[in-house]
Structure 1
Amino acid sequence: MTDDSKASPRGVTVGDAEAFAKLLGPGRLIGIDAGTKTLGLALSDVTRAIGSALETIQRTKFSVDAKRLLDITAKHSVQGFVLGLPSNLDGTEGPRAQATRAFARNLNALTPLPVLLWDERLTTVEAERMLIQADASRKRRAEVIDKLAATLILQGALDRMRLLNR
């Protein structure tokens, strides 16, 4: 028999904005676009009305990436994560979605903060279109695409939660 009372609290991953909202305390959320090479991050304001691009973490090992993410979380008093789930256009899940689910499970083991898996279909395409329309250079687009995609992911979830509260 093991003593689980000393174990760190485990977070939970949900796929429903309403269930996620019930798990949150007051404060900010972080949106995450988890790519193979980078983690694009966005941060909400304290009222959870607006998401803004925050930064891009160059991925190395999960433990290093998670430490950086949790340091940012503590600095901004974050209450939860909105993690983009890259489903295929037909709604099925491929290897990237499976890797994202694994990222969420690993994050749950490190923090009690809840994770919302948010359908991110076409957010990177939308971010690219927005940057092209803004006449951003190819170099500039590469620098900001991931955190802009994270902002779109976060904003979609914020908008959905706001509609649920009406």
Structure 2
Amino acid sequence: MSQPGRRLGVDVGSVRVGVALSDPGGLLATPLVTLRRDERDGSDLRQLAELVVEYEVVEVVVGLPRTLAGREGPAAAAARQYVELLAGHLSVPIQMSDERLSTVVATRALRERGVRGRKQRSVIDQAAAVEILQGWLDSRRTVGGG
């Protein structure tokens, strides 16, 4: 149903943007990079566009932060606005995926591996992007997607 190829997972924060990449078969998401968010010059948007080209990405998956009750608040509105800006830089489709608890799950996983403090902050955004992308990939497989 969906085309084969790499997907890019994106966790949008107010300061940083975590990025994860899937394998070409769409089975496994791995951490890629954390970008500094720059609303003034949009350099993070350009860097994402460069990653899409460099890794021959066929689709981008951006986390949509919802409340535990499933509602969209200010964080979801900010993510949707980011996707609108990002769409102007990309020639591939962008999907939004529910990211409830992705940062919580990522933080717990890092803590269990003994990654704490400053080191944890430097990779938490990538880990959250992995959670977002892996959840999306898994849901596509179980629903009979790709």
| TMscore range, shorter length | over 0.9
1:98 maps to what in 2? Answer: 77
Given candidates 46, 55, 58, the residue that maps to 2:36 is: 58
Tell whether 2:138 aligns with 1:132: no
Shift in Å at residue 138 of structure 1? 0.9
Q: How many residues align?
A: 144
Deviation track 1:58-95 (CA, whole Å, cap 9, x = no partner) reads 11136211110011110000011110001111111111
- TM-score, normalization by structure 1: 0.82
Shift in Å at residue 165 of structure 1? 2.4
- Report the 3-state secondary structure (helix = DSSP H, G, I; strand = E; otherwise coil) of the residue aligned with 1:113: coil
- TM-score, normalization by structure 2: 0.93
Gaps of 5+ in 1: 1-20
Shift in Å at residue 46 of structure 1? 0.2
Shift in Å at residue 26 of structure 1? 2.8
Q: Give the aligned CA root-mean-square deviation in angstroms.
A: 1.4
Counterparts of 1:160 and 1:90 in 2: how far apart (Å)?
20
After TM superposition, what 4+ stretches of structure 1 lie above 3 angstroms from structure 2? none
Given candidates 100, 120, 137, the residue that maps to 1:141 is: 120
Given candidates 5, 20, 40, the residue that maps to 1:42 is: 20
Which amino acid is the alignment partner of residue 60 of structure 2? F
2:90 maps to what in 1? Answer: 111
Tell whether 2:69 aligns with 1:82: no
Which amino acid is the alignment partner of residue 33 of structure 2? E
Q: Which has the larger radius of gyration?
A: 1
Tell whether 2:135 aligns with 1:156: yes
Counterparts of 1:110 and 1:76 in 2: how far apart (Å)?
16
The share of aligned pairs that are identical, in percent, is 36
1:16 maps to what in 2? Answer: none
